Amino acid sequence: MQDPPDRPPSHPQNVRIDPSSLSFSMWKEIPVPFYLSIYFFEVLNPEEILKGEKPEVQERGPYVYREFRHKINITFNNNDTVSFREHRSFQFQPAKSRGSESDYIVLPNILVLGAAMMMENRPMSLKLMMTLAFSTLGERAFMNRTVGEIMWGYDDPLVNLINKYFPDMLPLKGKFGLFAEMNNSDSGVFTVFTGVKDFSRIHLVDKWNGLSKVNFWHSDQCNMINGTSGQMWAPFMTPESSLEFYSPEACRSMKLIYQEPGMFQGIPTYRFVAPKTLFANGSVYPPNEGFCPCLESGIQNVSTCRFGAPLFLSQPHFLNADPVLAEAVAGLHPDPEEHSLFLDVHPVTGIPMNCSVKLQLSIYVKSIKGIGQTGKIQPVVLPLMWFGEVRLRSRRSEPWGRAGLGQGTGLSPDFMSMPVGCKDHEVGWV
């Protein structure tokens, strides 16, 4: 007999991470297709920016990729944990995209502008050498590259030059691309609790790459690895619950807070949203002080875990950030309906049913004395791209029936064809 819909499942073992669990195959390889949508901010006035004028951008996209993910090297440990890597690969979807990978787009040259910022406090002689090297190689502050090159990499002699004379500046060799290191790769080794011995700790991260905390930030609180790996959470949620997860690419833990109950295709859900304090700076939200040095509130400085590159995370179009950020760049239009971050989770099982995980990557640029390629660029946080996750459900998705999550949970049969496993989208930047 099934439990009434408003009661917890009578068989919590069905959602444990265990080969005998009915949901194990779903945990190992999510049976619903994931799609990554990329939007670039094309720079419309690069020459004017070099003269000190306000940047103007135009959103291009989406360029859509199907993402394939499955867990490998699964090892069950004696302390009620399991360790694994999650392999991922991407395949371009022309029919779902507005454009092709051969489209040319003008973007800030991350190598040039990033290296310039990292050289700011070096001796003038080194900066002049860098300027000469840029000129010799024909490098400029803005580049015109195809979507495929921007995403998956292009040969740039500047990479070899920087590695030769400044070996600790770049973490890569060969091709440079925003997602070059992300395709056919993984985000490291996650060790999470299985819930077999202690159900209250199910899905919580014990360690990432053998670490119980990171050392990128300036406070113990900011360095903590909290929550899950971002795909599933503990069952039996209440409005007092929150969704915490660790993102290796953001190098930090994040927390979403409860907003309201809802329904998704007949299934009851709780909506969890990104609080406005998620990327707030320390002056607005003191617990985030450890993530500084900061600029305006609403953007996350990730330079400390990206080899000093002046990169920032935020919500798209600087949504929920200090208004001066969007006002400094013409063409930005933050819209909560289009750019918000939320997860709709089935509270009984902890499984995400619907998600809107959208983040933006930006670069801080300005004129650097001694490096001529930076011209008279005024200090500005210039958006590069934003990305979001889309999933397509199928009522004929047989693996859901095999997972058997509807058994003993009081869920409708449609539950077994629902999507699952919403995760923050990793960024394959340098």
Which string of DSSP letters, residue by residue, matches 255-295? EEEEEEEEEETTEEEEEEE--TTTT--TTTSGGGGGG-S--
List the one residue out of 7, 1, 2, 4 whose CA is nearest residue 349.
7
Q: What are the residue ranges of helices labelled H in 5-79? A: 24-28, 46-50
Q: Would the pLDDT of 404 be above 60?
A: no
Give per-residue pLDDT as tens, 147-170: 999 999 988 888 887 777 777 666
What is the Cα–Cα distance from 68 to 90, expressed in whole angstroms?
6
Q: Are 176 and 323 in contact (CB under 8 A)?
A: no
Q: What residue spans define the domains of the chain? A: 12-417
Q: Are 61 and 39 in contact (CB under 8 A)?
A: yes
Q: What are the φ and ψ backbone dihedral angles of 41, each rounded to 5 degrees?
A: -100, 95
Q: Would the pLDDT of 393 be above 60?
A: no
Residue with tokens 């918000």: 340
Note if the bond before 8 is cis, omega within 30 degrees. no
Give per-residue pLDDT as tens, 308-344: 789 999 999 999 999 999 999 999 999 999 999 999 9
Note if the bond before 293 is cis, omega within 30 degrees. yes
Length of the chain: 430
Q: Would the pLDDT of 25 be above 90?
A: no
Q: Which residue has the higher pLDDT, 402 or 37?
A: 37
Q: Would the pLDDT of 90 be above 60?
A: yes
Average pLDDT, the chain: 86
Q: At what angle do helices 124-137 and 157-165 cross, to 10 degrees?
A: 160
The pLDDT confidence band at residue 427, using thresholds 50, 70 and 90, is very low
Note if the bond before 310 is cis, omega within 30 degrees. no
Q: Would the pLDDT of 409 be above 60?
A: no
Q: What is the pLDDT of residue 306?
A: 76
The pLDDT confidence band at residue 218, using thresholds 50, 70 and 90, is very high
The pLDDT confidence band at residue 417, using thresholds 50, 70 and 90, is very low
Q: What is the pLDDT of residue 4?
A: 40
What is the Cα–Cα distance from 187 to 216, expressed in whole angstroms?
16
Q: Would the pLDDT of 35 be above 60?
A: yes
Give per-residue pLDDT as tens, 264-284: 888 999 999 999 999 999 989
Residue with tokens 């959103």: 59
Q: Would the pLDDT of 232 be above 50?
A: yes
- pTM for the model: 0.88
Tokens for 63, please give them: 């360029």
Q: Would the pLDDT of 418 be above 70?
A: no
Q: Taking the CB of residue 96, how many other CB atoms lie within 10 A of it?
A: 15
